[in-house]
């Protein structure tokens, strides 16, 4: 498990940052009426932030670890 985290540490860092930013977005911006399907609950907005953080971190990690082809 520790080897997996070391290998994907950028993605894991962005996962945590995305979750934190999703929670903070829900807390301070959110949806006051409760009719927004993603923004109305803290757990859905945090999960969405984590997903976006993982995707961005994985994209950055793949560009960083790309090996030259010639």
Determine what percent of the chain is predicted with pLDDT higher than 90: 41
- For the chain, where are the alpha helices, taking DSSP H only? 2-7, 9-28, 42-64
Q: Please report which confidence band the pLDDT of residue 70 belongs to, taking 50, 70 and 90 as the band edges.
A: low
Question: Above 70 in pLDDT, residue 42?
Answer: yes
Give the residue among 67, 68, 64, 45 at the shortest CA–CA distance from 56. Answer: 64
Summarised one tens digit per residue, pLDDT across range 7-40 is 889 999 999 999 999 999 988 988 777 777 777 8
Pick left, alpha or beta for residue 31 (phi over 0 → left; psi -120 to 50 → alpha; otherwise beta): beta
Question: Above 90 in pLDDT, residue 67?
Answer: no
14 CB-near residues (< 8 Å, 6+ apart): 53, 54, 56, 57, 58, 60
* Higher pLDDT pick, 68 / 51: 51
> What is the rounded distance in angstroms from the CA atom of residue 40 to the CA atom of residue 18?
17
């Amino acid at each position: 498990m520790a080897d997996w985290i070391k290998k994907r540490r950028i993605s894991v860092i962005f996962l945590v940052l995305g979750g934190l930013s999703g929670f903070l977005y829900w807390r301070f911006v959110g949806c006051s009426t409760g009719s927004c399907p993603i923004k109305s609950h803290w757990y859905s907005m945090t999960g969405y932030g984590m997903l976006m953080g993982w995707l961005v971190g994985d994209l950055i990690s793949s560009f960083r670890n790309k090996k030259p082809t010639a």
